[in-house]
């Protein structure tokens, strides 16, 4: 089977987001960008499924600016077989909404016919946690979110999901859209030879219009502000003082 893995290029998770002074958004000029950590996990899982002999091809897709090429090269170096770049904007500050992303991915899925789409459960920039679910609905496929364990069988995929109360296991009929959680695996680093090899792997560039998808924006961002900040407090001298502070604030 084929596996499709969408990968988003986001502000690196180690970099603190800075709100632009005019309140128009987060400053993304000259900052380190990386593959969304959850997408890295999704891709790693796809590679492992392929290594076990349960998949033949992995296609990585990225939607956004031209520079998302770099993210796709990383995906190819990790182990994706080919990549599709959908250039949907020329401004890195223009975040494409999950609903549009789902429309684009659904169009690609209809063309490519994957049996499985593995998505990160959320992008660490907009924190929407929505693309996989929307995509699954658009395709009318089965949906398994927040996976911490995946077992591909013949016609079904068994997924253990991280839910609020603990863990839930479900069987999802293939084709399926699965969103992955942090504990599913630890992504590999691309080796130097694989980075070199990735340069020769196919990377196709298309536009949303090629897929017949229109970029829409349903949520107008009116402003972006810093959260209320907390002041650093008091460093206490000893345990007795701490006990006192705890007691003051319990049931207070």
Ligand X SMILES: Cc1cc2nc3c(=O)[nH]c(=O)nc-3n(C[C@H](O)[C@H](O)[C@H](O)COP(=O)(O)OP(=O)(O)OC[C@H]3O[C@@H](n4cnc5c(N)ncnc54)[C@H](O)[C@@H]3O)c2cc1C
Tell me the number of residues near another protein by CB under 8 A: 81
Element holding 164 (H helix, E strand): none
Number of Cβ atoms within 10 Å of the Cβ of 209: 10
* Nearest residue (CB) to ligand X, 10 versus 159: 10
CB of 146 to another protein, least distance (A): 6
Angle between helices 37-51 and 68-78 (to 10 degrees): 30
Residue showing the smallest CB distance to ligand X in the complex: 37
Window 115-134: contact mask with ligand X (x via CB under 6 A): ---------x----------
What mask, x for binding another protein by CB under 8 A, covers residues 75 to 104? ----------------------xxx--x--
- 3-class SS string, 93-159: CCCCCHHHHHHHHHHHHHHHCCCEEEEECCCCCCCCCCHHHHHHHHHCCEEEEEEEEEEECCCEEEE
The end-to-end CA distance of the chain, in Å, is 58
Q: Which of residues 218-247 bind another protein (CB under 8 A)?
A: 218-227, 230, 232-236, 238-240, 242-243, 245-247
- Please tell me whether residue 21 binds another protein under the rule CB under 8 A: no
Which positions lie near ligand X, rule CB under 6 A?
13, 37, 124, 182
């Amino acid at each position: 089977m084929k596996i499709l893995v969408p990968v988003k290029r986001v502000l690196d998770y180690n970099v603190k987001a800075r709100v632009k002074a005019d309140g128009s958004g987060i400053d993304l000029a000259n900052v380190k960008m990386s593959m969304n950590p959850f997408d890295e996990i999704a891709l790693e899982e796809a590679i492992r499924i392929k290594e076990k002999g349960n998949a033949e091809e992995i296609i990585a897709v990225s939607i956004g600016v031209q520079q998302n090429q770099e993210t796709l090269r990383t995906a190819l170096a990790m182990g994706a077989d080919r990549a599709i770049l959908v250039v949907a904007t020329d401004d890195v500050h223009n975040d494409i909404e999950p609903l549009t992303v789902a429309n684009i991915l659904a169009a690609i899925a209809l063309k490519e016919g994957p049996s499985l789409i593995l998505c990160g459960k959320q992008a660490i920039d907009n924190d929407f946690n929505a693309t996989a679910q929307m995509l699954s609905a658009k395709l009318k496929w089965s949906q398994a979110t927040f996976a911490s364990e995946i077992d591909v069988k013949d016609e079904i995929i068994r997924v253990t999901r991280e839910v609020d109360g603990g863990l839930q296991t479900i069987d999802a009929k293939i084709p399926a859209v699965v969103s992955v959680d942090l504990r599913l695996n630890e992504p590999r680093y691309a080796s130097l030879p694989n980075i070199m090899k990735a340069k020769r792997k196919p990377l196709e560039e298309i536009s949303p219009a090629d897929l017949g998808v229109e970029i829409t924006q349903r949520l107008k961002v009116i402003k972006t502000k810093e959260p209320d900040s907390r002041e650093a407090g008091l460093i206490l001298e000893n345990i007795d003082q701490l006990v006192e502070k705890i007691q003051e604030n319990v049931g207070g």
